[in-house]
Structure 1
Amino acid sequence: MFRLKLFGSPSLEGPEGRVEGRATQRHRLGLLAILALATDRGVARERVSGLLWPDAGPDQGRRLLSDSVYRVNQAVGGEGVRTEGESLRLDPDRIDSDVARFRAALARGDLREAVAVHAAPFLEGFGIPGAVEFDRWVDAERQRLTRELGQALEGLAEGAADDPASAAIWWRQRGALDPYSSRVALRIMESLAAAGDRAAAVQHAAMHSTLVREDLGLEPDPEVARLVAALRIAPASPVQEGPAPEERPGTEGVRTDPDAPDRPSAGGETRDAPAPARAEPPAPIAERAPAARSPLRGVAPVLALLAVGAAVAVWWSGRSAPAPVGPTSIEARLPLSLVVLPLSDLSPDPEGEWFADGLTDEIITRLSTVPGLRVIGRTTSFAFKGRGVDARALGAQLGVDAVLDGSVRREGGRLRIAVQLIDATDGFQLWAETYERAEADAFALQDQIARATVARLVGSAIAPPAAPPPEADPTAYNAYLAGRFEWHRRTQPSLLAAVDHFERAVALAPTYARAHAGLGDARAVLGFYDYLPPSEAFPSAAASAQRALALDPDLPEPWATLGYVALYHEWDGAAAERAFQRSIELGPGYSTAHQWYANLLYAQGRFGEAEREMRIAQELDPLSLIANSALGWVLYYAGEHERALAQLASVAELDPDFELVYLWRGMVLEELGRTAASLEALRLATKRSPTGIARAALARGLAKAGRRAEAQTLLADLEAEHARGYAPTFEIAKVYEALGQPEEALRWLERAYDERSHSLVFLEVDPQLVGLRSHPRFRTLVERVGFAGSGADGGPP
């Protein structure tokens, strides 16, 4: 039996795992989706080919459809797609779909099963370039299935009328489907109030009213305001009294230190305020209002990208049935999610910022290894640095359950670190502690803070893996933190500075695994951005990563680096995939590993999988410029140009100076034939960062626009630069291709091969090389590189 997944990103899985290759290219997944939603009579062949290949003539459309049916049936080992006269239908005994299971559960009245199966929107993020009618069909079916899901959720909520806490959970899931419905908002409020949580009911009313006013320009139903007024004057229920402060679950034995962070909790309450009564399990992330709606004072530009990843909440939490009802704390919510805000630097030394930032980064890294705990990535965390953001607003915006906040002070060889853990749903403090240690204990402290945080969130049953004994003295550890601080800035000078810091850490502490890992990371990225010749950057990166794993085989970062080197220098896709998967297994919250794995997938033409991995990276670190930009890059390679433009535009809203946005935007616009806009974007990219790649892209754009003299001037500069040291040969080849000189372009590609240019893994998917693909020398080069790809999704068979 093969299982067809259509809720979320589509896929086909068999007894031996996911089906890859031609059978699951974009058009063939579309074919399976159309048939999965058909009646038992099937769908007319003409209807299917018209949806999938609208620009093909009748004969060509019929051939493409027949080939797709053949490819699918070949993959499933039989007639998964049956031909019955002029109609096609799925054989349910060979291919079972989640949509069929959803509707079967509805038919037999098993609403919980139906809700559990409908785990994400139908064909989320999926489309077929140029197939407008198919996209309309998807939208219509998605709306129909969502209505059916809503009816199931309402049935569950109504069935739980005698259990208001459980009813509130079902109603809130229903509200997530239509946050503008005042009818549903009122039912959520009534259930929360009946469960004894009037504060949550009033808070939901405020969020709903803001959504309706800001998004629709309308006033909410007056009944919402009337219910809020009634809740505010109603007497408190004696049954729902909350515990005294010292009895708040999860805070027993925590001392209140005068030097702990003294920022007021949400709403202005002090950290020692008593908790409100909480009768129902706190709502899982998926039940909250859409993230980008609640205002955060002073950080609106920072939050511009959150709407891009609106599906993050559903992806992480799923749609589980309500837990048993009773007095609960944050421990009741699984999976849990957390954001670690940058530690405030209170040190007298103005140069100490890197230490506070590095310690924050290490705490994030440690927490990211905990199974079941979703930790927001570093880039997003640091977007809120020094902003004094309200914890409840962060909870709503990022979809997190808790916020870890604090400060660090270094003076006279001593450390004083104060931290507090805040419940993001109500703004109350779960735990606070102050640590005073010698600076030599910094390494152990970050592990102690991570373990204490997890213990307060989920108890002692789950905790980070025990950290190995510190292999570094304080000076080496400080050098490592300084290296990570520079590595995250990702400029050529900062990466070179990072190498210096990591090398110093290694020299001081040769058995310090994380320092070796950092050195490998820095050298690998220097090679990717062509800041160093590949032959210099990648082998040394691999050596550092291997040394790190010899010292600590469970570090996720060096595994990702080995995958990076296997992909870009050794051109070994299988080895790269194994390394990336091992990194993700060890550190599921390490967003960089997901991003680099996505690079491998789209280099192999596995665009659907690449988009999924890149979205995971984005969800783990929703404000990461590189993760969000790289998603646009994946969409560009997949031929989804309008979606790529929209994605890159979102990144530009976040940071108008991020040069990669303009570089990739220029490439997308070139594919769309918008020459003037493309050149403008490429000039902006070159102005912001005149790297060899940016200048080569501009030269290519000028050549395509017929401005040969300008293109040749830039090209001459790049060739002179290459003669003096190094310039990206792969990009120079593409300039010659645009100038109509294929032989010279191929000569430069062959030179790129001699230099082991990392870009050669994209030979068969780079749209700027289409004009060379049929050339015998190009085919020979592809064979010499030997990088296994599976062909682009939706392309010709």
Structure 2
Amino acid sequence: MNTRRLIGLLVLAVFATWIGLRGCMSEPPPPVEAPQPVREAFHAAKPLRTTIEIERAEEDDETDARWLERELRYLLLRGQMRLASAEATETFALRIEIGADREHARLRLIAPDEVIEREQTIPIGKTRLENVQALASTLPSFLHASHASQEWAAFLGTSDPRAYDTYLRSAAELFGPSAQGLTRPVVSRAGARTIERLESLTRAQPRFARAWAALAIAYLSMGGADVTSLSELAESAAERARLLDEGLAEVYAALGVVDLRRNEWIAAQDRLARALSMDSALASAAEGLACLYADAGHLKRSLRLAELAVKLQPRNAGANECLAYASIGTASKDAAEDFVPNASVARVQALAAFLQGDTRAAGRLLRRTMPRAEFEIWASPTLQAAANRRLIPDALRAITQAANDGYIDAATEILCGAALKQPEFVFNRLARLAREGSHTPLRVLWLPNAEFLRKHPRFETTISAAGLMSFWHGSGPPDVCTSEPDVYGCNVRIDSARE
């Protein structure tokens, strides 16, 4: 009996042990899957980059791509969308694909991980105005841009296809990559035709604000003997545009350049900065602000803006010149060795070489960028006088005659005087420009090795007459004060309210 009980207990113990071991040996439950990360969703406050792809578009067809890129950017900015740079990759992208028939477009919103968040195909009509009107009607809802006006088509300014085409043609010349800029205006038949075209357009479409703004820029792009009158016409056209539409960045860029020409530094800075805040890729605003800072002695600030303007408009003579001054003044590169096929830039670089005593480098720069006949008129006498001081009076007469005959402008005349280290000649020319009400190119005063100008008794008079002291109260003293603290203006008190 006891034996049976013992055997039963033993069997029960073995069974219990087996049950326990089985529980220990069983496979663990599968792990709980981690929740999928929530994908980033687009909303209208996020930065957006844009691309346009046109099937079978000709490589150099301006009407097929670049005009539409400018208009798309304009619409998005007016719709209060944030635009990212083309180089930004970790942002949402709006891709517009236009088919070979040119009558349909596919809109795609692509997330940073290349997933298509939404897409839509729309008819876009046959004319360029119909193309953009279709986009203007679709984009607010497609991008969920409820924070801005839903009537983006009103931003185009006209419903006349011919007027719109005329405007686009002029805008390509004034705002495109081949534009010549505003701070170094030149006389040209193409510029005169652009002005005539826009004047005719504004007469036919007096409420077309964008045409008035473009006309203001066109006036400022034209050089010649009557720059003062052209500036007044530009101001009038810009004010007319502003009355019609206060949201045009080009208006404030034009008004800022007019203020700069009148040495109204604070007003110019405010307007140009406002234009650039409205459109960070507006070359005319970047150019104007870069040259303002170059004239005011803020070469470090000028450098970044000049680089932006030149990137947007590689042929912009004024932006290239101010970039040359800023590069030399900040020692960002050896300007004497960098060959730039632009006459005004080469003259600035030649001046820097003259001031360093490198007459040979200056001669190379001047010979490479000007006709031989013109070189012999004023550049050759300047080079000879730099090597032989006794020839300076003859060189100054040749330079003055070249300016009177129209071979060089006042800025180049001043450069030549500085190259020969003739401060009286330089300050006389600056004073003459001030009396004529013309903008005085003070940037020459801030170059390295130009201490003879900053130490001259007339330096203080010139700076005071130009009104720079009041500007420095808000923006701070010129950069040269770091190494030359005794220069006039370095002890200016900064207005904390404006700072």
TM-score (norm 1): 0.46
Residue of structure 1 in register with 2:415 after alignment:
734
Q: Which residue of 2 aligns with 1:478?
A: 165
Task: Mark the structure with the bigger radius of gyration.
Answer: 2
- 1:487-513 CA distance string (max 9 Å, x none): 232245443333233223212212111
Are the structure 2 counterparts of residues 667 and 719 from structure 1 closer, same or farther at C-alpha, using a change threshold of 3 Å?
Answer: same
Q: What RMSD, in angstroms, separates the aligned Cα atoms of the two structures?
A: 4.7
Alpha-carbon distance in 1 for matches of 2:150, 2:454: 49
Report the Cα distance in structure 1 between the residues aligned to 2:430 and 2:131, rounded to whole angstroms.
Answer: 51
Contact kept, 8 Å, 1:602 with 1:634, in 2: the verdict is yes
Residue 509 (1) aligns with residue 205 (2): yes
Assess, with a 3 A threshold, how the Cα gap between structure 1 residues 722 and 339 changes in structure 2: closer, same or farther.
Answer: farther
Superposed displacement of residue 420, structure 1: 4.2
Alpha carbons 1:633, 1:644 under 8 Å: kept:
no
Q: Displacement of 1:339 after TM fit?
A: 3.8
Unaligned runs of 5+ in 2: 1-32, 181-185, 486-499
The answer for the alignment partner of 1:557 in structure 2 is 250
| 1:363 and 2:72 aligned | yes
Deviations 1:40-74 (A, max 9, x none): xxxxxxxxxxxxxxxxxxxxxxxxxxxxxxxxxxx
Per-residue CA distance 1:689-709 (angstroms, 9 max, x = gap): x999xx978875665455997
Return the offset for 1:536: 3.1
Aligned residue in 1 for 2:9: none
Among 208, 229, 239, the residue aligned to 1:546? 239
Equivalents in 2 of 1:633, 1:427: separation in Å?
41
SS at match of 1:686: coil
Structure 1: which amino acid aligns with 2:145? S
Distance 1:580 1:644 in 2: 27
Give the Cα–Cα distance (whole angstroms) in 2 for the partners of residues 539 and 554 of structure 1.
22
Structure 2 matches for 1:647-658, cutoff 5 A? Answer: 657=341
In the alignment, is residue 601 of structure 1 matched against residue 293 of structure 2?
Answer: yes
Kept after mapping to 1: 8 A contact 2:348/2:415: no
Give the match for residue 338 of structure 1: 49
3-state SS of the aligned residue for 1:490? coil
1:752–1:760 contact (8 Å) kept in structure 2: no
Partners in 1 of 2:150 and 2:294 — Cα distance? 33
Contact 1:454/1:460 (CA < 8 Å) preserved in 2?
yes
Aligned to 2:145: 460
Contact 1:560/1:580 (<8 A) preserved: yes
| Corresponding residue number in structure 2 for 1:437 | 125
Equivalenced residue count is 433
Q: Is the 8 A contact 1:746 1:777 kept in 2?
A: yes
Paired residues of 1:513 and 1:547 also in contact (CA < 8 A)? yes
Identity of aligned residues (%): 21
1:496 aligns with 2:192: yes
The letter of the residue matching 1:635 is A
Q: Once the two structures are superposed, what CA deviation does each residue of 1:385-411 show, in whole Å capped at 9, x if it has no partner?
A: xxxxxxxxx765xx764263445999x
The C-alpha deviation readout for 1:225-281, integer Å capped at 9, x for no partner, is xxxxxxxxxxxxxx999xxxxxxxxxxxxxxxxxxxxxxxxxxxxxxxxxxxxx6xx
CA distance in 2, matches of 1:518, 1:341: 24
Q: 1:454 to 1:645 in 2, by over 3 A?
A: farther
1:526 Cα shift? 2.9
1:648 is displaced (CA, Å) by: 9.7
Compute the displacement of 1:767 (Å): 5.4
Contact 1:556 1:587 in 2 (8 A): yes
Could you tell me how far 1:373 is from its partner in structure 2? 1.8
- Letter of the aligned partner of 1:587 in structure 2? D
C-alpha deviation, 1:666, in angstroms: 3.8
C-alpha change, 1:558 and 1:756, in structure 2 (3 Å) is same
In the TM superposition, what is the alpha-carbon distance from 1:544 to its structure 2 partner?
1.3
Partner deviation per Cα, 1:689-745 (whole Å, 9 max, x = no partner): x999xx97887566545599799679737735634x684223213323434554444
For residues 96-175 of structure 1, what are the structure 2 equivalents within 5 Å?
A: none
Counterpart of 1:762 in structure 2 is: 443
- Show the counterpart of 1:15: none
Structure 2 partner of 1:685? 369
Distance 1:355 1:515, change over 3 A: farther
3-state SS of paired residue (2:246): coil
1:792 aligns with 2:478: yes
Aligned amino acid, residue 402 of structure 1: A
Deviation of 1:599 (Å): 2.7
Contact 1:696 1:715 in 2 (8 A): no
Partner residue of 1:722 out of 404, 425, 431: 404
Q: Distance in 1 between matches of 2:290 and 2:69?
A: 26
**Cα distance in structure 2, aligned partners of 1:502 and 1:334:** 36
Change (3 A) 1:726 1:751: farther
Q: Distance in 2 between matches of 1:778 and 1:674?
A: 25
Contact 2:287 2:306 in 1 (8 A): yes
Query: What does residue 326 of structure 2 align with?
Result: 635
User: Cα–Cα, structure 1 residues 700 and 404, in superposed 2: closer, same or farther, change >3 Å?
Assistant: farther
Please say if residues 645 and 665 of structure 1, whose CA atoms lie closer than 8 Å, have aligned partners that are also in contact: no
Partner residue of 1:570?
262
TM-aligned CA distance change 1:369 to 1:647, over 3 Å = farther
Q: How far is 1:552 from its partner?
A: 0.8
Closer, same or farther: CA 552–434 of 1 in aligned 2, 3 Å: same
Amino acid at match of 1:683: R
Q: 1:748 to 1:681 in 2, by over 3 A?
A: same
Gap change, CA 1:630 and 1:727, over 3 Å in 2: closer
Letter in 2 for 1:485: A
Q: TM-score, normalised by structure 2?
A: 0.69
Alignment of 1:237-636 (within 5 A): 325-329=37-41, 331=42, 335-341=46-52, 353-354=62-63, 357-369=66-78, 371=80, 373-376=82-85, 401-402=92-93, 404-407=95-98, 416=103, 418=105, 420-421=107-108, 423=110, 425=112, 431-437=119-125, 439=127, 442-443=128-129, 445-446=131-132, 448-449=134-135, 452-453=138-139, 456=142, 459-462=144-147, 466-467=151-152, 468=154, 470-471=157-158, 473-487=160-174, 488=176, 489-491=178-180, 492=186, 493=188, 494-527=190-223, 531=224, 533-567=226-260, 569-611=261-303, 613-614=305-306, 626=316, 629=320, 632-633=323-324, 635-636=326-327
Structure 1 residue 481 displacement after superposition:
1.0
In the alignment, the residues of structure 1 paired with residue 110 and residue 336 of structure 2 have an alpha-carbon distance, to the nearest angstrom, of 32
Secondary structure of 1:577's match? helix
- Point out where structure 1 has 5 or more consecutive residues left out of the alignment: 1-238, 242-278, 280-324, 382-393
**Secondary structure, in 3 states, of the residue corresponding to 1:644?**
coil
Alignment of 1:753 onto 2:442: no
